[in-house]
């Protein structure tokens, strides 16, 4: 790293270490840490925080403990960012009790948790289905005059939606606008998915209409997020609730508002038609995909095969499967299980499997 008269300082080394950690190359990052210590360049809190973050993501907790001890011995004390990184790592490993202990320890040491700290421990509780405990953390945060942001709200909304507690989720969703916070793609997507899951179509339509009025015209960077985050969820929810005409109408309108469906959205619409046994419509969408330069993927083919199987269209499935295998795709776990279940009552279905195997060997 040393060239000419300019010698890198701890800031430059920390940038390199952080990049290596983000690339999950922890051995090289630790090697540079040892190198700078040998050169008499003392690492700082930024250096150690990057390394701790990288080690947490790899679950190397013994090395994390070692680095913490090393920091303290060098009179470098963890700040709120360092503690938040550790708490986040523990929560993502399911070690929420340990994360709580770390939070108590940081408070004892005079380091006050911030919005990030509270949000990551809330997320940890939600990941374990303990949404009520996450809500208590949320209330504690407010009692300490820390205003929740869109991310802390989204964490709780997601937790309640997963528990199918849409009453609480919708109450929090309503608070977001009242607080003057800007709703994000992920928040709309989460609440829409939750509403469709419990069959609250009317509320989903209202949120969808609100979303359309709030969403700015997408550019090249937001295109994918808008398609995946909003429209795929809405179309999928309507299809699952047997409102195929409404789903198809939204699908057809995408191009008129400057959005082209991606492979996920096409597959969701295809699944809707398969659920109703409308395979001529499926063929039409497959043609559109090819014409628009968005070829079907493995998920698309599996959805169609599952549709044929559920409708007992075995000959059509066999013919379609040949095309599927010819493109290098194969049955996923869901298709395989469905095939096994059907074969129990109709063993002749399995006659097509050797053909698939011989094709795959070529």
Q: Kindly write down the DSSP assignment for every residue of 31-68, as one continuous string.
A: HHHHHHHHTT----HHHHHHHHHHHHHTT-HHHHHHHH
What pLDDT is attached to residue 10?
86
How distant, in Å, are the alpha carbons of 180, 257, 268, 287 from that of 251?
31, 11, 10, 15
What pLDDT is attached to residue 218?
46
CATH code for the domain in which residue 44 is found: 1.25.40.10
The verdict on pTM exceeding 0.85 is no
| Residue 174 located in a structural domain | no
| Residue 349 located in a structural domain | yes
- As a whole number of angstroms, the distance between CA 292 and CA 264 comes to 14
b/e burial code for range 249-280 (CB count within 10 A of at least 16 → b): ebbeebeeeebebbebbbbbbbbbbbbeebbe
- As a whole number of angstroms, the distance between CA 298 and CA 292 comes to 18
- Are 49 and 85 in contact by the 8 Å Cβ rule? The answer is yes
What pLDDT is attached to residue 141?
95
Q: Please give the angle made by the CA atoms of 282, 286 and 290, to the nearest 5 degrees.
A: 170
- As a whole number of angstroms, the distance between CA 53 and CA 241 comes to 43
Sign of the dihedral defined by the CA atoms of residues 108, 111, 115, 116, in that order: negative
| Residue 292 located in a structural domain | no
What pLDDT is attached to residue 227?
57
Q: Which of 53, 77, 101 is the last residue of a domain?
A: 77
Contacts of 307 (CB under 8 A, 6+ apart): 270, 271, 273, 274, 275, 277, 279, 282
| Residue 314 located in a structural domain | yes
- 241 secondary structure, DSSP code: T
- As a whole number of angstroms, the distance between CA 113 and CA 142 comes to 12
Q: How far is CA 102 from the centre of its chain?
A: 26
- Are 81 and 49 in contact by the 8 Å Cβ rule? The answer is yes
| Residue 282 located in a structural domain | no
Q: Which stretches of the chain drop beneath a pLDDT of 70?
A: 1-7, 215-230, 257-258, 350-362
| Residue 312 located in a structural domain | yes
Domain, as residue range, for 346: 301-362
- Are 239 and 268 in contact by the 8 Å Cβ rule? The answer is yes
Q: Which of 38, 61, 77 is the last residue of a domain?
A: 77
| Residue 206 located in a structural domain | no
- 183 secondary structure, DSSP code: P
Q: Which of 77, 99, 119 is the last residue of a domain?
A: 77
Domain tally for the chain? 2
What pLDDT is attached to residue 222?
43
- As a whole number of angstroms, the distance between CA 47 and CA 50 comes to 5
- As a whole number of angstroms, the distance between CA 47 and CA 15 comes to 8
| Residue 182 located in a structural domain | no
- pLDDT tens digit string along 272-329? 999 999 999 999 999 999 998 999 999 999 999 999 989 988 888 888 888 888 888 9
Element (H, E) at 320: helix 314-326
Q: Please give the angle made by the CA atoms of 190, 53 and 50, to the nearest 5 degrees.
A: 125
What pLDDT is attached to residue 360?
45
Coil, strand or helix at 337: helix
């Amino acid at each position: 790293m040393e060239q000419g008269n300019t010698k890198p300082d701890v800031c430059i080394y920390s940038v390199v270490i952080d990049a290596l950690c983000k690339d999950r190359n922890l051995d090289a990052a630790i090697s540079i840490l040892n190198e700078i210590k040998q050169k008499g360049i003392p690492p700082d809190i930024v250096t150690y925080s990057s390394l701790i973050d990288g080690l947490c993501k790899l679950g190397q907790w013994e090395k994390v403990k070692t680095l913490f001890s090393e920091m303290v011995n060098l009179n470098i004390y963890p700040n709120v960012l360092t503690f938040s990184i550790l708490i986040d790592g523990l929560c993502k490993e399911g070690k929420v009790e340990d994360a709580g202990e770390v939070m108590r320890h940081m408070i004892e040491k005079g380091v006050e948790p911030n919005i990030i700290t509270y949000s990551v421990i809330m997320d940890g509780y939600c990941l374990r289905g303990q949404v009520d405990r996450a809500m208590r953390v949320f209330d504690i945060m407010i009692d300490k005059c820390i205003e929740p942001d869109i991310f802390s709200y989204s964490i709780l909304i997601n937790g309640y939606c997963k528990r199918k507690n849409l009453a609480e989720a919708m109450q929090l969703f309503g608070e977001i606008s009242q607080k003057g916070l800007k709703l994000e793609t992920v928040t709309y997507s989460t609440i829409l998915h939750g509403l469709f899951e419990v069959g609250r179509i009317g509320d989903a339509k209202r949120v969808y209409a609100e979303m359309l009025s709030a969403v700015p015209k997408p550019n090249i960077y937001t295109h994918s997020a808008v398609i995946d985050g909003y429209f795929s969820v809405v179309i999928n929810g309507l299809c699952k609730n047997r409102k195929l005409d409404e789903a198809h109408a939204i699908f057809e309108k995408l191009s008129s508002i400057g959005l082209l469906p991606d492979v996920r959205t096409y597959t969701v619409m295809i699944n809707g038609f398969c659920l109703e046994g409308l395979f001529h419509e499926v063929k039409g969408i497959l043609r559109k995909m090819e014409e628009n330069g968005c070829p079907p993927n493995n998920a698309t083919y599996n959805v169609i095969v599952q549709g044929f199987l559920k409708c007992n269209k075995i000959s059509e499935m066999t013919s379609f499967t040949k095309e599927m295998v010819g493109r290098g795709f194969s049955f996923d776990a869901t298709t395989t299980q469905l095939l096994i279940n059907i074969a129990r009552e109709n063993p002749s279905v399995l006659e097509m499997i050797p053909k698939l195997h011989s094709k795959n060997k070529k």
